[in-house]
A = this chain, B = another copy of it.
Amino acid sequence: MTVARPDEVRRFNRSSLLRLLHTGGPATRAALAVELGLNRSTIKMLVDGLAEAGLVQEKVPRQARGAGRPSLLVLPQPQAAVVLAVYVQAEHAGIALVGFGGQILGRNSWNLHGRQRDPDEVITHVAESAAMLAGDLGLHPVAAGVSVPGVVRRNDGLVHNAANLSWGEVALGERMTAVLNVPVTVGNDAEFGALAEHLRGAGRGGGDAVFVSADVGVGGGLIAQGSLLRGSAGYLGEIGHMTVRPGGRVCHCGNEGCWETEVGDAALCRALGLPEHVPRGAIVAELRALQEDCAELGEYLDWLTLGLVNVVNILGPELIVLGDLFTALPDAAVTRVREQVRRRSMVSRALGGVRIEKSRLGADLKLLGAAEAAFEGVLGVL
């Protein structure tokens, strides 16, 4: 139980204001006052403080509405607080420097083959690449977020298991902190995807959402009552290992008929008559060439539907965002899944229909999510 003291109120208001500018973008003093429920003089005092610290600039808006003096526009200054965002995937890795307000200020990425996928190599390459990028741009990141496709303990960034990287028990949080010299938050990629969708994507402003994505694996992240769920000790996101087909194919996790084995990229290849694990481009091309009825995808979509019905019945979200490989599904296929889920889920029927949408944050999703995880610890202390 935390107890607010009078001397904490100002700091709380300041970080609320920073968070609002960071996720909402430029806004007038008047709008900020309304949004935070503060009076104009308090807002003035807080904004003046932020301007003095170089975190915001103020401008007279171009188009002033109404009579009277126009309310000043407050703009977050991206360079004033910068974090390092990192993602690691089976085939490649990348970094970006992301500024206050969420803008990507610079980036770099590279392929991972064979030995390059070893944790040692990845850590070294990230550190070198980050130092070079920061030097080139003259920026100094104050925190880092690292997205990994695996089971991650959020408390300390231990990667318990990342099957698609062949990593097990890697103390990634500790080791990254040592080489980067800033606080590091390591998380599961789908969990960070959920965070990005919640703050900057389809889930913006909403309370309860589930983000589900397919690549080699299938993962998920949950937003409940406006916050990212973490599970106990920070483990979460193994939604891909929900059993949907008892007695089905054996999964690398040791169980049978996991959702991942039925709707991951290998399953999609099988449905499309492609060899398993062809490059992503070939899968996408094949999906684009499908007829309107998507007949080839029939059974694949049934398994996708079944897993989503379970997610809706268990969690009752208002929104499901489909990410990564799922975004390449034809719209007709998504429409069919949406209708089936609405019809077959009790909870969706009670809600009057859950929203199911493709992610529109594109390739930057993982970087944006990792950046937001890093900013979580930063905005309160700027």
Residues of A within 8 A of B (CB): 1-6, 8-9, 12-13, 16, 19-20, 35-38, 151, 153, 160-161, 206-208, 220, 224-225, 227, 229-233, 235-239, 241-246, 253-255, 306, 309-311, 313-319, 344-347, 349-351
Residue pair B233, A351 in contact (C-beta under 8 Å): yes
Residue pair A231, B315 in contact (C-beta under 8 Å): yes
A231 touching B317 in the complex, CB below 8 Å, given contacts A1-B36, A238-B347, A310-B310: yes
A225 touching B220 in the complex, CB below 8 Å, given contacts A239-B314, A314-B239: no
A-B contact pairs, 30 of them (CB 8 A): A1-B16, A1-B35, A3-B9, A3-B13, A3-B37, A4-B4, A4-B8, A4-B12, A151-B350, A153-B350, A161-B350, A231-B316, A231-B317, A232-B316, A233-B318, A233-B351, A235-B351, A236-B316, A237-B316, A238-B313, A238-B314, A238-B346, A241-B313, A242-B313, A245-B246, A255-B309, A255-B344, A310-B310, A314-B314, A314-B315
CB contact between A6 and one of B6, B16, B208 (< 8 Å): that residue: B6
Give the CA-CA distance A151 to B253 in the complex, in Å: 34
A3 touching B231 in the complex, CB below 8 Å, given contacts A239-B314, A242-B310: no
CB contact between A1 and one of B4, B9, B20 (< 8 Å): that residue: B20
A350 touching B9 in the complex, CB below 8 Å, given contacts A1-B35, A3-B16: no
State the Cβ distance, A172 to closest chain B Cβ, in Å.
14
Determine the chain B residues whose CB is within 8 A of the CB of A160 once the complex forms: 349-350
Residue pair B306, A243 in contact (C-beta under 8 Å): yes
Residue pair B242, A314 in contact (C-beta under 8 Å): yes
CB contact between A316 and one of B12, B235, B319 (< 8 Å): that residue: B235
Residue pair A232, B207 in contact (C-beta under 8 Å): yes
Residue pair A5, B9 in contact (C-beta under 8 Å): yes
Determine the chain B residues whose CB is within 8 A of the CB of A246 once the complex forms: 244-245, 306
CB contact between A3 and one of B36, B151, B225, B344 (< 8 Å): that residue: B36
State the Cβ distance, A30 to closest chain B Cβ, in Å.
17
Residue pair A220, B6 in contact (C-beta under 8 Å): no
A310 touching B243 in the complex, CB below 8 Å, given contacts A4-B9, A231-B208, A232-B207: yes
CB contact between A232 and one of B35, B151, B235, B318 (< 8 Å): that residue: B318
Determine the chain B residues whose CB is within 8 A of the CB of A245 once the complex forms: 246
Determine the chain B residues whose CB is within 8 A of the CB of A319 once the complex forms: 232
Residue pair B236, A315 in contact (C-beta under 8 Å): yes
A232 touching B16 in the complex, CB below 8 Å, given contacts A243-B244, A255-B309, A306-B243: no
Give the CA-CA distance A318 to B255 in the complex, in Å: 21
Determine the chain B residues whose CB is within 8 A of the CB of A20 once the complex forms: 1
CB contact between A346 and one of B232, B233, B253 (< 8 Å): that residue: B253
Residue pair A12, B16 in contact (C-beta under 8 Å): no
State the Cβ distance, A190 to closest chain B Cβ, in Å.
12
Residue pair A317, B4 in contact (C-beta under 8 Å): no
CB contact between A208 and one of B16, B232, B241, B345 (< 8 Å): that residue: B232
Sample of 18 more A-B contacts, CB < 8 Å, known A4-B4, A225-B230, A231-B316: A1-B16, A3-B38, A6-B9, A9-B9, A161-B346, A220-B314, A229-B315, A235-B347, A235-B350, A236-B316, A237-B316, A238-B316, A239-B313, A241-B346, A241-B347, A242-B314, A243-B306, A243-B310
